[in-house]
Structure formats: C-alpha cells, structure tokens
Amino acid sequence: MKSAIRYPIQDNWVSRLLVGGLLTATSIILLPMFTLLGYSLRVLEDSVDGYPDPPEFEDYISITKHGFIVSVISIVYLLSPIIISLLAISGLVRINEVYEFSMPVFSMIGVSLLLPATIVSAAMYYIAPAAIIRYALERRIMSAFELSEINNIILTKTYATGTIPPVLVGISSLLLVAISITSTIGAVVAPFIQFYIQVVMLRMFAIAYRKSMSTPAVDRYDLLEMVKLTSSST
C-alpha cells in the first residue's frame, strides 16, 4: 500500500506529473484521453513486470494508439452493464404503463429485473482491470476477452482481496477532487491530484494481478466463500 502511494513520485516525477495532469485536464478531448490511457497501459505492464519506477511519457504515437484500443476494450466491459441497466429500467417503465401495478408489485418486478443487471455490472467492473492488464502484457486485443485465461486471475482470493484497496482509493479520490474544485486553486491542481491517484490505483491493480499469477484459482466449492470474504472486507 505504502509503496504504491510513493510509486508516482519516484525518479523524474515532477515532469511526469505535469504532463499527466495536463493530459487529465484536457482528457475531455479524445486524443489526450487516448494518450493517457496508453500511458496507463505502460504503468500496468511495468508494474506487473516488477519495475520500481513509473514509465516516462515517450513515444506518444504508440501509447496513443494503444490507448484507443484500451478505450474499445473498456467500452465493451464497462458500457455493456450500463446498457443492460437502462434496458431493464425501460422495460420496467413500459410494463408498469400497461399493467399499472401497485407499488409492492412494482417493487418486486423492479428488483427481479434490476438484480441481474446489477450482478452483471459488478462482474464486468471486477473483470475489466484484469482484462486490460492482459492486453497491456500481450498487446493483442483478443487477449482481453480470453475468459479462460482471465478466470485464472480473477478467481483467486489474492485478486479478490487485492482489488479492494484501489477501489477504496478511487472512491476517496472522487471525494478529494470534489472538495478541491470548490476553490480556484483546488480546481487548478485537481487534474494533477487525479492523475497521481490514478497511477496509484493502476499500481495496486497490477500488483494484485502479479500476485494472482502464482496463486491457484478457486474451484466452484470455494467460490461462494471467496465472495463472502470480499463482501465482508468492503
């Protein structure tokens, strides 16, 4: 945990933080966003390979190209649950317009429709980091969708527990950025804070992945126990 927090400020950190912050501030534009995603790939790759220092921003054409591919992978994994949820909500509204259910019945139907969508969403958000790391390591877009290989990582207790800290860091960062943008100075430094925290999270995910590579996946009898462990930790 401490090593991941110190990771972004190793070596030539000032120029790296400046570039990363500027890219984060302008990431509403597609090109800087792709460049930032491509750099994230290098952080993941180097972290899994055990390099102590973060990579420098260089070879912008290459990292931007790979960043575009990451955006496609992310859309497949992270946008599909949103679509499923919207379809479930739309279906619920249409059904109620036709049958005009009472509130208890409407609630029961809503839970039955939204629960599967929620489960799919949670699963996709859980799988996505491992899928993106696989692409970072192999640079083949299909490697991000080889579920048999991904399962060897995500079905380990090491990965399940190791992904909790970066998620908590991410939630905390949202609050920190939200507070910082309430002032003029805070709004200026917010993109740099966001970039710093993003690199910390990437490092944590990569370390969890690396440790999971030497951990056997759980079988179906241990899967329920792993879910219980993850739930109790959160």
* Separation between Cα atoms, residue 27 and residue 3, nearest integer Å: 27
Which of 92, 147, 91 lies closest to 123 in space, CA to CA?
147
Q: What is the pTM of this model?
A: 0.82
Residue 195, C-beta contacts closer than 8 angstroms, at least 6 positions apart: 8, 17, 20, 21, 23, 24, 36
* Separation between Cα atoms, residue 125 and residue 111, nearest integer Å: 20
- Residue pair 48/210 in contact (Cβ under 8 Å)? The answer is yes
Q: What digits encode the pLDDT tens for the residues 102-160?
A: 777 777 777 777 777 778 878 888 999 999 999 999 999 999 999 989 999 999 989 99
Chain centroid offset of residue 19 CA: 21
Q: Among 3-12, 62-71, 73-82, where is mean pLDDT lowest?
A: 73-82
